[in-house]
Amino acid sequence: MKSLVAPSLLAADFGNLAEAVALIERSDADWYHVDVMDGVFVPNISFGMPVMEFLARSTTKPLDVHLMIVEPERYIEAFAALKTQILTVHLEASRHLHRTIQQIHAAGMKAGVALNPHTSVDTLVDILDEVDLVLVMSVNPGFGGQSFIPRALEKVARLNQMRKERGLNFLIEVDGGVKDENSLALVQAGADVLVAGNFVFKAQDPDAAIRAIKHTRVR
Ligand code: DX5
Ligand code: ZN
């Protein structure tokens, strides 16, 4: 089994998004990681529906949408209509997470839950059976290009242990500061999906950067 690589479009050149899409389409990347920020849940605003509409009509690989917004349940249908395959909401932004996950499933998407660096993976104990993916934030959400917080590695290992103990098969995704130097350790700890923004889009050779963090793994 291989780790999946999801380049984060946040680090792409927005003056030439079509080129970023062409790059991901032809590369070994598996998913598009799409960071939607509202300036309330996080101190930054990224992009919204017009960019999603462009992605929905110009991509073939799955759209992995990471919502960094308050009241994410208000937008479930809108993202489903725009070809989103995996919709991830923050535990810290969801008052009724169980219901939100049910709504994401009812809209035909995979449901992910994201955890900020300060949130323990143990907070997921009563919801793990319901989720398709857990996104471990390895930086504070809001900006690309930050340094990886090493504690994330232990969170991945603990989640992997919980997954094995309970016989579950949700995916573990890591987001923030991922690069060649830390990717193998993450995959060995149990990560299935690596998100990378700057490491891919600021690289001299983005195709090679994607290959560099796509490890073959045995689980
Ligand atoms: C941060 C976003 C990340 C970000 C990662 O809030 O969720 O997806 O784009 O960027 P890098 O890989 O540059 O840390
Ligand atoms: Zn993200």
pLDDT tens for 119-171 read: 999 999 999 999 999 999 999 999 999 999 999 999 999 999 999 999 999 99
Residue 107 near residue 76 (C-beta atoms within 8 A): yes
The token pair at 116 is 């900020």
Residue whose CB lies within 8 A of the most ligand 1 atoms, among 8, 69, 173, 210, for a mutation test: 8
pLDDT at 1 over 80: no
Q: Which atom of ligand 1 is nearest to the CA of 196?
A: 12
Cβ atoms within 10 Å of 48's Cβ, excluding its own: 14
pLDDT band at 2 (very low <50, low <70, confident <90, very high): confident
Instruction: For residue 178, give the ligand nearest its CA.
Output: 1
Are residues 139 and 177 in contact, defined by beta-carbon separation less than 8 angstroms?
yes
pTM recorded for the entire structure: 0.98
What pLDDT, on the 0 to 100 scale, is given for residue 215? 81
pLDDT-based confidence at 216, cuts 50/70/90?
Answer: low
Q: So which residues are the catalytic ones?
A: 35, 175
The pLDDT > 70 percentage for the chain reads: 98
Token pair of 88, please?
């991830």
Domains of the chain: 4-214 (3.20.20.70)
Residue nearest to atom 6 of ligand 1 (CA): 141
Rounded to 5 degrees, φ, ψ at 113 are -125, 130
Q: What is the best residue among 14, 31, 34, 35 to mutate for testing ligand 1's pocket, by most ligand atoms within 8 Å of CB?
A: 35
Instruction: For residue 184, give the H/E element and its range.
Output: helix 180-189
Question: By the 8 A CB rule, do 154 and 116 touch?
Answer: no
Q: Which amino acid is at 211?
A: R
Sorting pLDDT into bands at 50, 70 and 90, what band is 21? very high
User: In angstroms, what is the span from residue 21 Cα to ligand 2's centroid?
Assistant: 17
